[in-house]
Structure 1
Protein backbone atom coordinates (compact mmCIF):
# COMPACT_ATOMS: atom_id res chain seq x y z
CA UNK A 1 0.00 0.00 0.00
CA UNK A 2 1.15 3.55 -0.73
CA UNK A 3 0.80 6.26 1.90
CA UNK A 4 1.44 9.61 0.20
CA UNK A 5 2.17 12.54 2.51
CA UNK A 6 1.83 15.69 0.45
CA UNK A 7 1.76 19.47 0.80
CA UNK A 8 3.65 22.64 -0.01
CA UNK A 9 7.07 23.37 1.47
CA UNK A 10 7.60 23.79 5.22
CA UNK A 11 4.39 22.13 6.34
CA UNK A 12 6.34 19.48 8.28
CA UNK A 13 6.15 16.48 5.93
CA UNK A 14 9.75 15.29 6.24
CA UNK A 15 9.88 15.76 10.00
CA UNK A 16 6.74 13.68 10.47
CA UNK A 17 7.92 10.99 8.07
CA UNK A 18 11.18 10.59 9.99
CA UNK A 19 9.16 10.13 13.16
CA UNK A 20 7.42 7.13 11.58
CA UNK A 21 10.59 5.14 10.91
CA UNK A 22 10.58 3.25 14.22
CA UNK A 23 6.89 3.54 15.09
CA UNK A 24 5.20 1.22 12.63
CA UNK A 25 6.05 -2.28 11.37
CA UNK A 26 6.28 -3.19 7.69
CA UNK A 27 6.62 0.44 6.64
CA UNK A 28 9.36 1.86 4.43
CA UNK A 29 9.75 5.65 4.62
CA UNK A 30 11.21 7.72 1.79
CA UNK A 31 11.34 11.33 0.64
CA UNK A 32 10.39 12.05 -2.96
CA UNK A 33 13.47 14.21 -3.58
CA UNK A 34 16.04 11.69 -2.36
CA UNK A 35 16.50 10.42 -5.93
CA UNK A 36 17.81 13.86 -6.92
CA UNK A 37 16.18 17.07 -8.10
CA UNK A 38 17.06 18.83 -11.37
CA UNK A 39 18.13 22.46 -11.36
CA UNK A 40 14.76 23.55 -12.69
CA UNK A 41 12.19 20.94 -11.65
CA UNK A 42 8.79 21.18 -13.30
CA UNK A 43 5.56 19.24 -12.97
CA UNK A 44 6.51 16.85 -15.79
CA UNK A 45 9.60 15.86 -13.80
CA UNK A 46 7.46 15.46 -10.68
CA UNK A 47 4.96 13.28 -12.51
CA UNK A 48 7.62 11.06 -14.08
CA UNK A 49 9.30 10.70 -10.71
CA UNK A 50 5.97 9.82 -9.09
CA UNK A 51 5.76 6.85 -11.47
CA UNK A 52 9.24 5.78 -10.39
CA UNK A 53 8.14 5.88 -6.76
CA UNK A 54 4.95 3.93 -7.48
CA UNK A 55 7.13 1.28 -9.10
CA UNK A 56 9.22 1.22 -5.93
CA UNK A 57 6.03 0.89 -3.87
CA UNK A 58 5.04 -2.12 -5.97
CA UNK A 59 8.40 -3.73 -5.23
CA UNK A 60 7.83 -3.17 -1.52
CA UNK A 61 4.28 -4.49 -1.89
CA UNK A 62 5.61 -7.77 -3.26
CA UNK A 63 7.61 -8.08 -0.03
CA UNK A 64 4.65 -7.31 2.24
CA UNK A 65 5.86 -3.79 3.04
CA UNK A 66 3.97 -0.51 2.69
CA UNK A 67 5.61 2.72 1.49
CA UNK A 68 5.16 6.09 3.18
CA UNK A 69 6.35 8.73 0.72
CA UNK A 70 6.67 12.45 1.33
CA UNK A 71 6.59 14.95 -1.51
CA UNK A 72 4.40 17.51 -3.24
CA UNK A 73 2.35 15.33 -5.61
CA UNK A 74 -1.37 15.72 -4.76
CA UNK A 75 -4.03 13.02 -4.98
CA UNK A 76 -4.79 13.76 -8.63
CA UNK A 77 -1.20 13.10 -9.69
CA UNK A 78 -0.99 9.91 -7.67
CA UNK A 79 -4.17 8.53 -9.23
CA UNK A 80 -3.12 9.48 -12.77
CA UNK A 81 0.30 7.87 -12.49
CA UNK A 82 0.45 4.97 -14.98
CA UNK A 83 1.08 2.15 -12.50
CA UNK A 84 -1.03 3.34 -9.54
CA UNK A 85 -3.98 0.97 -10.23
CA UNK A 86 -1.63 -1.95 -9.45
CA UNK A 87 -1.23 -0.87 -5.82
CA UNK A 88 -3.24 -2.79 -3.26
CA UNK A 89 -4.29 0.51 -1.71
CA UNK A 90 -3.66 4.27 -1.84
CA UNK A 91 -4.06 6.82 0.94
CA UNK A 92 -3.09 10.50 0.78
CA UNK A 93 -2.58 12.93 3.65
CA UNK A 94 -2.24 16.69 3.14
CA UNK A 95 0.08 18.16 5.77
CA UNK A 96 -0.72 21.85 5.96
CA UNK A 97 0.10 24.96 7.98
CA UNK A 98 -1.27 28.49 7.92
CA UNK A 99 0.40 31.07 5.70
CA UNK A 100 2.14 33.06 8.42
CA UNK A 101 3.65 29.94 9.98
CA UNK A 102 4.83 28.80 6.54
CA UNK A 103 6.53 32.17 5.96
CA UNK A 104 8.27 31.92 9.33
CA UNK A 105 9.38 28.35 8.69
CA UNK A 106 10.76 29.23 5.24
CA UNK A 107 12.80 32.03 6.78
CA UNK A 108 14.05 29.83 9.61
CA UNK A 109 14.92 26.91 7.34
CA UNK A 110 16.32 28.69 4.30
CA UNK A 111 17.41 32.12 5.55
CA UNK A 112 17.21 34.69 2.75
CA UNK A 113 17.04 32.15 -0.07
CA UNK A 114 13.54 33.04 -1.24
CA UNK A 115 12.39 36.45 -2.44
CA UNK A 116 8.83 37.69 -1.99
CA UNK A 117 7.71 36.26 -5.34
CA UNK A 118 8.99 32.80 -4.46
CA UNK A 119 7.35 32.88 -1.03
CA UNK A 120 4.02 33.83 -2.58
CA UNK A 121 4.42 30.92 -5.00
CA UNK A 122 4.78 28.52 -2.04
CA UNK A 123 1.66 30.02 -0.46
CA UNK A 124 -0.27 29.80 -3.73
CA UNK A 125 0.70 26.14 -4.16
CA UNK A 126 -0.49 25.47 -0.61
CA UNK A 127 -3.81 27.19 -1.34
CA UNK A 128 -4.28 25.09 -4.46
CA UNK A 129 -3.58 21.90 -2.47
CA UNK A 130 -6.45 22.85 -0.17
CA UNK A 131 -8.78 23.41 -3.12
CA UNK A 132 -7.74 20.15 -4.76
CA UNK A 133 -8.35 18.24 -1.53
CA UNK A 134 -11.95 19.41 -1.43
CA UNK A 135 -12.93 19.07 -5.08
CA UNK A 136 -11.26 17.49 -8.13
CA UNK A 137 -12.90 20.16 -10.31
CA UNK A 138 -10.98 23.01 -8.66
CA UNK A 139 -8.48 24.18 -11.28
CA UNK A 140 -7.22 20.72 -12.34
CA UNK A 141 -5.24 22.41 -15.12
CA UNK A 142 -2.66 23.40 -12.51
CA UNK A 143 -1.31 19.85 -12.76
CA UNK A 144 -2.84 18.54 -16.00
CA UNK A 145 -1.91 21.32 -18.44
CA UNK A 146 1.38 20.48 -20.12
CA UNK A 147 1.81 17.44 -17.90
CA UNK A 148 3.67 14.23 -18.66
CA UNK A 149 1.98 12.58 -21.62
CA UNK A 150 1.82 9.18 -19.90
CA UNK A 151 -0.47 10.42 -17.14
CA UNK A 152 -4.07 9.09 -17.15
CA UNK A 153 -6.01 12.15 -16.01
CA UNK A 154 -9.27 10.69 -17.29
CA UNK A 155 -9.34 8.34 -14.30
CA UNK A 156 -10.66 11.14 -12.08
CA UNK A 157 -11.34 14.35 -14.04
CA UNK A 158 -15.06 13.58 -14.27
CA UNK A 159 -15.39 12.86 -10.54
CA UNK A 160 -17.20 15.19 -8.17
CA UNK A 161 -16.31 16.18 -4.64
CA UNK A 162 -18.68 13.61 -3.12
CA UNK A 163 -17.06 10.65 -4.85
CA UNK A 164 -15.80 8.46 -1.97
CA UNK A 165 -12.54 7.85 -3.81
CA UNK A 166 -11.72 11.56 -3.67
CA UNK A 167 -10.45 11.45 -0.11
CA UNK A 168 -7.39 13.27 1.25
CA UNK A 169 -6.86 13.34 4.99
CA UNK A 170 -5.93 16.76 6.42
CA UNK A 171 -3.32 17.27 9.12
CA UNK A 172 -2.82 20.91 10.13
CA UNK A 173 0.47 21.36 11.98
CA UNK A 174 -0.05 25.04 12.84
CA UNK A 175 0.84 25.63 16.52
CA UNK A 176 0.91 21.88 17.14
CA UNK A 177 3.85 20.04 18.78
CA UNK A 178 5.70 17.67 16.50
CA UNK A 179 4.93 14.73 18.78
CA UNK A 180 1.19 15.38 18.54
CA UNK A 181 1.33 15.60 14.75
CA UNK A 182 3.40 12.41 14.60
CA UNK A 183 0.79 10.63 16.69
CA UNK A 184 -1.85 11.69 14.17
CA UNK A 185 0.17 10.38 11.23
CA UNK A 186 0.65 7.07 13.02
CA UNK A 187 -3.08 6.82 13.68
CA UNK A 188 -3.86 7.71 10.07
CA UNK A 189 -1.62 4.94 8.75
CA UNK A 190 -3.12 2.45 11.19
CA UNK A 191 -6.67 3.44 10.26
CA UNK A 192 -6.00 3.19 6.52
CA UNK A 193 -4.41 -0.22 6.90
CA UNK A 194 -7.45 -1.41 8.80
CA UNK A 195 -9.76 0.05 6.15
CA UNK A 196 -7.87 -1.84 3.45
CA UNK A 197 -8.02 -5.12 5.34
CA UNK A 198 -11.76 -4.76 6.00
CA UNK A 199 -12.60 -3.74 2.42
CA UNK A 200 -13.64 -0.21 3.44
CA UNK A 201 -10.81 1.61 1.69
CA UNK A 202 -12.26 3.36 -1.36
CA UNK A 203 -8.87 3.49 -3.11
CA UNK A 204 -8.17 -0.22 -2.93
CA UNK A 205 -7.25 -2.18 -6.05
CA UNK A 206 -10.12 -1.93 -8.51
CA UNK A 207 -10.86 1.74 -7.72
CA UNK A 208 -10.66 2.63 -11.42
CA UNK A 209 -13.73 0.49 -12.15
CA UNK A 210 -16.36 2.03 -9.89
CA UNK A 211 -16.73 4.09 -6.71
CA UNK A 212 -15.78 2.29 -3.53
CA UNK A 213 -17.66 2.30 -0.23
CA UNK A 214 -18.35 5.61 1.45
CA UNK A 215 -15.31 7.00 3.19
CA UNK A 216 -15.18 9.96 5.61
CA UNK A 217 -13.69 13.19 4.31
Structure 2
Protein backbone atom coordinates (compact mmCIF):
# COMPACT_ATOMS: atom_id res chain seq x y z
CA UNK A 1 0.00 0.00 0.00
CA UNK A 2 1.03 3.59 -0.63
CA UNK A 3 0.26 5.81 2.35
CA UNK A 4 0.35 9.49 1.43
CA UNK A 5 0.54 12.15 4.13
CA UNK A 6 -0.25 15.58 2.75
CA UNK A 7 -0.46 19.05 4.24
CA UNK A 8 0.61 22.63 3.73
CA UNK A 9 3.96 24.00 4.83
CA UNK A 10 4.68 23.82 8.57
CA UNK A 11 1.99 21.30 9.49
CA UNK A 12 4.66 18.76 10.50
CA UNK A 13 4.73 16.21 7.67
CA UNK A 14 8.45 15.41 7.76
CA UNK A 15 8.64 15.51 11.54
CA UNK A 16 5.69 13.15 11.85
CA UNK A 17 7.27 10.74 9.36
CA UNK A 18 10.58 10.71 11.23
CA UNK A 19 8.81 9.86 14.48
CA UNK A 20 6.39 7.40 12.88
CA UNK A 21 9.07 5.33 11.17
CA UNK A 22 10.46 4.19 14.53
CA UNK A 23 7.00 2.97 15.54
CA UNK A 24 6.10 1.13 12.34
CA UNK A 25 8.89 -1.39 12.01
CA UNK A 26 10.36 -3.11 8.98
CA UNK A 27 7.01 -3.69 7.29
CA UNK A 28 7.00 0.00 6.33
CA UNK A 29 9.47 2.01 4.30
CA UNK A 30 9.28 5.78 4.65
CA UNK A 31 10.20 8.44 2.11
CA UNK A 32 9.72 11.96 0.88
CA UNK A 33 10.47 13.20 -2.62
CA UNK A 34 14.02 14.25 -1.73
CA UNK A 35 14.85 10.65 -0.76
CA UNK A 36 13.66 9.32 -4.12
CA UNK A 37 16.10 11.28 -6.27
CA UNK A 38 17.78 14.67 -6.69
CA UNK A 39 15.75 17.86 -6.42
CA UNK A 40 16.22 20.32 -9.31
CA UNK A 41 17.28 23.89 -8.63
CA UNK A 42 13.78 25.08 -9.51
CA UNK A 43 11.27 22.29 -8.78
CA UNK A 44 8.07 22.49 -10.81
CA UNK A 45 4.61 21.02 -10.41
CA UNK A 46 5.36 18.63 -13.29
CA UNK A 47 8.58 17.51 -11.60
CA UNK A 48 6.74 16.83 -8.35
CA UNK A 49 4.11 14.78 -10.13
CA UNK A 50 6.68 12.79 -12.05
CA UNK A 51 8.45 12.04 -8.76
CA UNK A 52 5.14 10.90 -7.25
CA UNK A 53 5.03 8.26 -9.99
CA UNK A 54 8.46 7.11 -8.77
CA UNK A 55 6.98 6.75 -5.29
CA UNK A 56 4.00 4.81 -6.63
CA UNK A 57 6.29 2.38 -8.44
CA UNK A 58 8.37 1.96 -5.29
CA UNK A 59 5.21 1.12 -3.36
CA UNK A 60 4.28 -1.46 -5.99
CA UNK A 61 7.72 -3.05 -5.65
CA UNK A 62 7.39 -3.13 -1.85
CA UNK A 63 3.94 -4.69 -2.09
CA UNK A 64 5.54 -7.76 -3.66
CA UNK A 65 7.43 -8.11 -0.36
CA UNK A 66 4.28 -7.56 1.75
CA UNK A 67 5.56 -4.12 2.73
CA UNK A 68 4.18 -0.59 2.48
CA UNK A 69 5.48 2.88 1.62
CA UNK A 70 4.75 5.90 3.80
CA UNK A 71 5.27 9.04 1.70
CA UNK A 72 5.31 12.13 3.91
CA UNK A 73 7.15 15.43 3.79
CA UNK A 74 5.87 17.13 0.65
CA UNK A 75 2.65 18.96 -0.28
CA UNK A 76 1.29 16.06 -2.33
CA UNK A 77 -2.52 16.08 -2.48
CA UNK A 78 -4.08 12.63 -2.54
CA UNK A 79 -5.43 13.48 -6.00
CA UNK A 80 -1.91 13.71 -7.37
CA UNK A 81 -1.07 10.25 -6.08
CA UNK A 82 -4.30 8.83 -7.50
CA UNK A 83 -3.58 10.38 -10.91
CA UNK A 84 -0.05 8.98 -11.20
CA UNK A 85 0.07 6.64 -14.22
CA UNK A 86 0.77 3.48 -12.21
CA UNK A 87 -1.59 4.30 -9.33
CA UNK A 88 -4.25 1.97 -10.70
CA UNK A 89 -2.04 -0.95 -9.66
CA UNK A 90 -1.92 -0.35 -5.91
CA UNK A 91 -4.10 0.57 -2.94
CA UNK A 92 -3.59 4.18 -1.81
CA UNK A 93 -4.60 5.80 1.48
CA UNK A 94 -4.51 9.55 2.03
CA UNK A 95 -4.03 11.47 5.26
CA UNK A 96 -4.16 15.25 5.58
CA UNK A 97 -2.26 16.88 8.44
CA UNK A 98 -4.17 20.05 9.21
CA UNK A 99 -3.89 22.98 11.60
CA UNK A 100 -6.12 25.72 12.90
CA UNK A 101 -5.49 29.01 11.10
CA UNK A 102 -4.07 30.51 14.30
CA UNK A 103 -1.63 27.65 14.86
CA UNK A 104 -0.63 27.64 11.19
CA UNK A 105 0.11 31.37 11.18
CA UNK A 106 2.25 30.98 14.29
CA UNK A 107 4.31 28.16 12.75
CA UNK A 108 4.71 30.01 9.46
CA UNK A 109 5.91 33.10 11.35
CA UNK A 110 8.50 31.08 13.27
CA UNK A 111 9.87 29.70 10.01
CA UNK A 112 9.71 33.08 8.26
CA UNK A 113 7.58 31.81 5.39
CA UNK A 114 5.00 33.95 3.58
CA UNK A 115 1.58 33.09 4.97
CA UNK A 116 -1.10 34.10 2.40
CA UNK A 117 -0.11 31.53 -0.26
CA UNK A 118 0.52 28.81 2.32
CA UNK A 119 -2.78 29.44 4.05
CA UNK A 120 -4.62 29.44 0.73
CA UNK A 121 -3.07 26.08 -0.15
CA UNK A 122 -3.99 24.74 3.29
CA UNK A 123 -7.60 25.76 2.65
CA UNK A 124 -7.53 24.06 -0.76
CA UNK A 125 -6.10 20.85 0.70
CA UNK A 126 -8.83 20.91 3.35
CA UNK A 127 -11.51 21.11 0.66
CA UNK A 128 -9.78 18.58 -1.62
CA UNK A 129 -9.79 16.00 1.16
CA UNK A 130 -13.59 15.85 0.91
CA UNK A 131 -14.44 17.22 -2.54
CA UNK A 132 -12.55 16.13 -5.68
CA UNK A 133 -14.37 18.79 -7.67
CA UNK A 134 -12.97 21.72 -5.70
CA UNK A 135 -10.67 23.76 -7.97
CA UNK A 136 -8.76 20.83 -9.52
CA UNK A 137 -6.75 23.34 -11.56
CA UNK A 138 -4.72 23.90 -8.40
CA UNK A 139 -2.82 20.74 -9.37
CA UNK A 140 -3.74 20.18 -13.02
CA UNK A 141 -2.26 23.47 -14.27
CA UNK A 142 1.28 23.01 -15.67
CA UNK A 143 0.98 19.33 -14.86
CA UNK A 144 3.12 16.42 -15.99
CA UNK A 145 1.47 15.25 -19.26
CA UNK A 146 1.39 11.60 -18.16
CA UNK A 147 -0.96 12.25 -15.24
CA UNK A 148 -4.37 10.53 -15.39
CA UNK A 149 -6.66 13.27 -14.14
CA UNK A 150 -9.65 11.57 -15.74
CA UNK A 151 -9.72 9.20 -12.78
CA UNK A 152 -11.20 11.86 -10.51
CA UNK A 153 -11.53 15.31 -12.10
CA UNK A 154 -15.24 16.00 -12.57
CA UNK A 155 -16.33 13.74 -9.73
CA UNK A 156 -18.61 15.00 -7.00
CA UNK A 157 -18.19 14.27 -3.28
CA UNK A 158 -19.17 10.73 -2.38
CA UNK A 159 -18.27 7.85 -0.08
CA UNK A 160 -15.57 6.64 -2.48
CA UNK A 161 -13.62 9.89 -1.96
CA UNK A 162 -12.39 9.72 1.62
CA UNK A 163 -9.25 11.01 3.30
CA UNK A 164 -8.29 10.82 6.97
CA UNK A 165 -7.68 14.24 8.55
CA UNK A 166 -5.43 14.67 11.60
CA UNK A 167 -5.47 18.04 13.39
CA UNK A 168 -1.93 18.70 14.62
CA UNK A 169 -2.72 22.09 16.20
CA UNK A 170 -2.18 20.83 19.73
CA UNK A 171 0.12 17.88 18.99
CA UNK A 172 3.82 17.78 19.71
CA UNK A 173 6.22 16.11 17.24
CA UNK A 174 6.10 12.70 18.94
CA UNK A 175 2.31 12.83 19.26
CA UNK A 176 1.94 13.68 15.57
CA UNK A 177 4.20 10.76 14.73
CA UNK A 178 2.11 8.44 16.87
CA UNK A 179 -1.06 9.65 15.16
CA UNK A 180 0.42 9.03 11.70
CA UNK A 181 1.72 5.59 12.69
CA UNK A 182 -1.71 4.69 14.06
CA UNK A 183 -3.34 5.88 10.83
CA UNK A 184 -0.94 3.73 8.78
CA UNK A 185 -1.84 0.63 10.76
CA UNK A 186 -5.57 1.36 10.49
CA UNK A 187 -5.35 1.92 6.74
CA UNK A 188 -3.45 -1.32 6.18
CA UNK A 189 -6.01 -3.13 8.34
CA UNK A 190 -8.84 -1.67 6.25
CA UNK A 191 -10.23 0.41 9.12
CA UNK A 192 -9.24 3.84 7.78
CA UNK A 193 -10.38 4.92 4.29
CA UNK A 194 -8.42 3.45 1.36
CA UNK A 195 -8.67 3.95 -2.40
CA UNK A 196 -8.44 0.37 -3.64
CA UNK A 197 -6.54 -0.31 -6.85
CA UNK A 198 -8.78 0.56 -9.79
CA UNK A 199 -11.35 2.27 -7.54
CA UNK A 200 -12.25 4.80 -10.24
CA UNK A 201 -13.53 2.13 -12.62
CA UNK A 202 -16.08 0.70 -10.21
TM-score (norm 2): 0.90
Runs of 5+ consecutive residues of structure 1 not aligned to the other structure: 211-217
Separation of aligned partners in 1, 2:93 and 2:31: 15
How far is 1:31 from its partner?
Answer: 1.6
Structure-2 separation of matches of 1:156 and 1:181: 29
Q: Tell me how far apart the structure 1 counterparts of residues 193 and 12 of structure 2 sit (CA, whole Å).
A: 26
- Could you list the runs of 4 or more consecutive aligned residues of structure 1 that deviate by over 6 angstroms after TM superposition? none
Long gaps (5+) in structure 2: none
Instruction: Name which structure has the greater RCO, CA cutoff 8 Å, separation 6+.
Output: 2
1:40 counterpart residue number: 42
Q: Find 1:185's aligned residue among 152, 171, 180.
A: 180
- Say if 2:197 is the partner of 1:205: yes
Q: Which residue of 2 aligns with 1:24?
A: 24
Q: What's the TM-score once normalised by structure 1's chain length?
A: 0.84
Q: Does 1:157 align with 2:153?
A: yes
110, 125, 138: which one aligns with 2:121: 125
Q: Which residue of 2 aligns with 1:215?
A: none
Q: Deviations over 1:14-34 (max 9, x none)?
A: 111111122123000112233
Instruction: Provide the alpha-carbon RMSD of the alignment.
Output: 1.9
Q: How many residues align?
A: 199
2: CA distance, partners of 1:37 / 1:120: 25
Q: Secondary structure at the match of 1:195?
A: coil
Pick from 129, 132, 135: which aligns with 1:136?
Answer: 132
1:146 counterpart residue number = 142
Q: Contact (CA 8 Å) 2:23, 2:178: kept in 1 or not?
A: no
Q: Give the Å deviation of 1:178.
A: 2.9
1:180 deviates by 3.0
